[in-house]
Amino acid sequence: MPLVNSIADAAPELRAWRHDFHQHPELNYEEHRTAKVVAERLRAMGFDAVETGIGQTGVIGVLHGRNGPGDEANAIMLRADMDALPIHEMNDVPHRSLTDGKMHACGHDGHTTMLLGAAQHMAETRAFDGTVYFCFQPAEEGGAGAKAMIEDGLFERFPCRSVYGMHNWPGKPMGQFLTRRGPLLAASDEFQITLTGLGGHAAKPDTCIDPIVCGAAIVQSLQSIVARRVDPLESVVVSVTTFKSGDPFNVIPETAFLGGTVRSFDAELHERTYEQIERIVTNIASAHEIKAEFKRPDNMYPATINDAAQTDFCLEVAREVAGPDMVVDGVDPTMGGEDFAFFAQIKPSCFMLIGNGDSAGLHHPRYDFNDEATAWGASFWTRLTEKALPLE
Ligand SMILES: [Zn+2]
Ligand SMILES: [Zn+2]
């Protein structure tokens, strides 16, 4: 059974909704307009309840099935993210971002629209038994909006047995669904290093303590962690992404700042990697007579670990929607991070990838969500609900 007919028929309307979100991108916790539009749509569809302001700008739509509400064992949560990125859009399309320096470069405009498309259909048919919570979360891009909603009492206020999420995937065919059991997306974490030496005249290096030379040695040595300290069959990324220091050509600066990210799938290995980074920084700085300050900001995203049974279930739903040939069971994990991981730590969950066709990559200034994917995603949400909460 392919696309849900009424969802396919609603394609022009859903496209208009998506283009409206695309034109009005909002960053982490600033999704006031988006949240308002989402809440208004859900209310207009006749939802049983619509709660706003959860985790600052999150929205939950509550929909009961034909036989009224269900308890926790008969309730599921479907999640979409709403936030955009601080990127200047380079697309020349009529629905281009109206705000310079902000754009929907990760397709969260599409994720929100897919879930709204499913909401519209399900509010009409209610062909399920129990409760579906439609979760529209803020601040996926580095702001840990999922965590903010959980800390705001998400699962106490909206008790459910499982949570499902979906992300579009550029380069995969339209109508294709992909996922895997276990780790799908990596833990994503940050480090910051401030080196303080002694600045002075570039022509008198012997009277200075140069933080740039020390920083360069640290960058080089950090490469040895993955190459020499990690089991070659395990996966870790250590990337230095920022190195700021100095300005005039004839001055040795006093300070240097380095920053970067650690990605991994294994919590123990992740912690060990941090210990090694800190040891390298401390010891190399000491050898250079530099004062080093090592910081690990509290904004880690854990690895997204798919529950095996929920993954089998989602793959079955995907096969019904897209056909067995369009479902990839066991896609390679990726080093990207996702804050859906916070939901998956608490509830048995599955995160799906859905093909976005031959588009630019995620976070690219020429990326645009493929509107054809909306009907596939919305049909998937609908079938998933009807299968998870079947009517007698
Ligand atoms: Zn993103
Ligand atoms: Zn994203």
How confident is the model over 42-54, as a mean pLDDT?
98
Domain hosting residue 235, numbered range = 187-295
Q: For residue 67, how far is its CA from the centre of ligand 2 (angstroms)?
A: 35
Q: For residue 109, how far is its CA from the centre of ligand 1 (angstroms)?
A: 11
The reply to whether 198 and 346 lie within a common domain is no
Q: Structural domain tally of the chain?
A: 2
Per-residue pLDDT at 301 exceeds 60: yes
Using one digit for the tens of pLDDT, what is the confidence trace for 146-179?
Answer: 999 999 999 999 999 999 999 999 999 999 999 9
Q: What is the model's pLDDT at position 299?
A: 82
- What is the number of the ligand closest to the CA of 107? 2
- What is the number of the ligand closest to the CA of 146? 2
Contact between residue 90 and residue 15 where contact means Cβ atoms under 8 Å apart: no
The reply to whether 345 and 281 lie within a common domain is no
- Residue 202: CB atoms within 10 A of its CB come to 15
Q: For residue 296, how far is its CA from the centre of ligand 1 (angstroms)?
A: 21
Hey, CA dihedral for 183, 336, 362, 190, is it positive or negative? positive
Q: What is the model's pLDDT at position 392?
A: 80
Q: For residue 359, how far is its CA from the centre of ligand 2 (angstroms)?
A: 15
Look at residue 354 and give its three-state secondary structure: strand
Using one digit for the tens of pLDDT, what is the confidence trace for 323-367?
Answer: 999 999 999 999 999 999 999 999 999 999 999 999 999 999 999
Q: Is 155 exposed, middle or buried (0-12, 13-18, 19+ CB in 10 A)?
A: middle
The reply to whether 250 and 313 lie within a common domain is no
The reply to whether 181 and 202 lie within a common domain is no
From 265, 295, 325, the end of a domain falls on 295
Give the predicted TM-score (pTM) of the model: 0.92
The reply to whether 253 and 170 lie within a common domain is no
How confident is the model over 38-55, as a mean pLDDT?
98
Greater model confidence, 224 or 298 = 224
The reply to whether 207 and 98 lie within a common domain is no
The reply to whether 129 and 14 lie within a common domain is yes
Q: For residue 140, how far is its CA from the centre of ligand 1 (angstroms)?
A: 7
Q: For residue 71, how far is its CA from the centre of ligand 1 (angstroms)?
A: 34
Using one digit for the tens of pLDDT, what is the confidence trace for 227-249?
Answer: 999 999 999 999 999 999 999 99
- What is the number of the ligand closest to the CA of 87? 1
From 295, 318, 350, the end of a domain falls on 295
The reply to whether 331 and 347 lie within a common domain is yes
Contact between residue 195 and residue 290 where contact means Cβ atoms under 8 Å apart: yes
- What is the number of the ligand closest to the CA of 79? 2
Q: What is the model's pLDDT at position 34?
A: 98
- What is the number of the ligand closest to the CA of 167? 2
Per-residue pLDDT at 1 exceeds 70: no
- Say which CATH number the domain at 236 has: 3.30.70.360
The reply to whether 57 and 134 lie within a common domain is yes
Confidence of residue 74 (pLDDT cuts 50, 70, 90): very high
Phi and psi based region of residue 144 (left: phi greater than 0; alpha: psi -120 to 50; beta: remaining): left
The reply to whether 35 and 118 lie within a common domain is yes
Q: What is the model's pLDDT at position 2?
A: 84
From 245, 272, 295, the end of a domain falls on 295
Q: For residue 104, how far is its CA from the centre of ligand 1 (angstroms)?
A: 9
The reply to whether 181 and 198 lie within a common domain is no
- What is the number of the ligand closest to the CA of 81? 2
Q: For residue 229, how far is its CA from the centre of ligand 2 (angstroms)?
A: 31
The reply to whether 114 and 215 lie within a common domain is no
How confident is the model over 3-7, as a mean pLDDT?
93
- Say which CATH number the domain at 384 has: 3.40.630.10
